[in-house]
Copies of this chain bind each other. A is one copy, B any other.
Amino acid sequence: MDNTKQLTAKILFDLFTQQLGRSNKLIDSFTDEQLANEVSPGRNTGIYLLGHLTAVHDAMLPLLGFGETQHPELVEIFIKNPDKSGIAKPSAAKIREDWKQVNSTLVAKLTALTPDQWFERHTSVSEEDFQKEPHCNRLNVVAGRTTHMTYHVGQMALLSK
């Protein structure tokens, strides 16, 4: 049992951190001016997408039972509202910093999980429902957020050159 759990947790953890590493390499290669550009005319800017990813990864902390969100102010700006809402955004430097910090916390917490803990419920499902839906676990959250990240990082890649 533990062997399969360990193996699976490794696969999903490695996928998440590998994609995160690639994302950071790309994001770090951009100047703040590049990040301020739209990924395609009339579409989201790089800075909005980075803020959006930061808010979504921040929300993984309570969802995974790792504590409170660290940047709740990002939800209004980067999840509830679109890029051109007129709401003032934090500076690129601040969003870059929040992004790094949130992921650093996430990776540390994920690293500390035992294989069994990867298969425990995430916090948006009740104990009762989890008995019927055992796939609502931490593993599933990490897998889903990894595809969310690659979806938007594919868009941010269009800012290069």
Contacts and interface: CB of A to CB of B under 8 A. Distances in A.
Copies of this chain in its oligomeric complex: 2
B158 A14 contact: no
Main SS of chain A's interface residues?
Answer: helix
A117 interface: no
A52 to B, nearest CB: 12
Given A11-B140, A14-B135, 15 more contacts: A1-B1, A1-B3, A1-B4, A4-B5, A7-B134, A7-B137, A8-B8, A11-B137, A12-B143, A40-B40, A40-B41, A150-B154, A151-B153, A151-B157, A154-B154
A8 B3 CA distance: 13
A11 B135 contact: yes
A123 interface: no
8 contacts: A1-B1, A7-B137, A8-B8, A8-B139, A15-B144, A150-B154, A151-B151, A155-B157
Interface string A118-161: 01000000000000001101011001101110111111011000
A25 to B, nearest CB: 14
